[in-house]
Amino acid sequence: MQREIVIAGFGGQGVLFAGQVLAYAAMDAGKEVTWIPSYGPEMRGGTANCTVIIADEEIGSPLVKHPPLAIVLNLPSFDRYEPLIQRGGALIVNQSMVDRGPKRTDITEVFIPCNEIAEAIGDRRLLNMVAVGALLPFLPELTLQDVEKALEAHLPARHRELLPLNFQALRRGYEVAEGQRSRV
């Protein structure tokens, strides 16, 4: 088993941290993992993306051309990655920042208002965890509990007070995506 995931958006949306959480969850579950960040020189407000590969065996290359799974948090990322997703794959889309529908019918696209859900929970910075939660129904290699344990173990000390809200964001994203998935 080897699963490739791309997470993309603007700097400041928690793209890299979302990838780190998935990588830590997989690593803590005994899987082989790579996490490769990429961001423009602007950082906050510029483009940011990362790739995460989760495998049972040693990973031959960290490069991902056509991922089966992706999270896109803004319109430029949606435009860039929608055509690259493998047929039969899944694309989690932050509906709060994407103002058009899908072009493809051969992949599952879950449109979820990550910004609004995060704000309703109490902190707009949680939009990345809403999106990660929405990815989990399509990533059977990791459970919601695996990701919660990774957050608990690896969330920086300065953000520890946000741990319960991060859990809530994960669960809410998972619920919304699972509801959409059952209608497909």
Domains of the chain by residue range? 2-183
pLDDT reported for residue 81? 95
The average pLDDT across 141-152 equals 94
pLDDT reported for residue 45? 60
pLDDT reported for residue 54? 96
Closest CA to 116 of 166, 75, 169, 155: 169
The average pLDDT across 88-107 equals 93
Q: In what order do the strands lie in the sheet with 90-94?
A: 32-39, 47-55, 2-10, 69-72, 90-94, 108-112
CA distance 92 to 82: 10
3-class DSSP state for residue 166?
Answer: helix
Q: Which two three-digit tokens encode residue 86? A: 């493998």
| 2-183 CATH pick, 3.40.718.10, 2.60.40.10, 3.30.413.10, 3.40.920.10 | 3.40.920.10
pLDDT in tens, 45-60: 667 899 999 999 998 8
DSSP 86: P
Please say whether the beta carbons of 172 and 115 come within 8 A.
no
pLDDT reported for residue 181? 64
Q: How confident is the model at residue 126 (pLDDT cuts 50, 70, 90)?
A: very high
Closest CA to 92 of 181, 182, 3: 181
Please say whether the beta carbons of 169 and 139 come within 8 A.
no
pLDDT reported for residue 176? 93
| 96 backbone dihedrals φ, ψ, rounded to 5° | -65, -25
Q: Which two three-digit tokens encode residue 105? A: 């019918």
Please say whether the beta carbons of 94 and 75 come within 8 A.
no
Q: Reply yes or no on whether the pLDDT at 22 is more than 70.
A: yes
Q: Residues near 143 by Cβ (< 8 Å), separated by ≥ 6?
A: 136
CA distance 55 to 115: 31
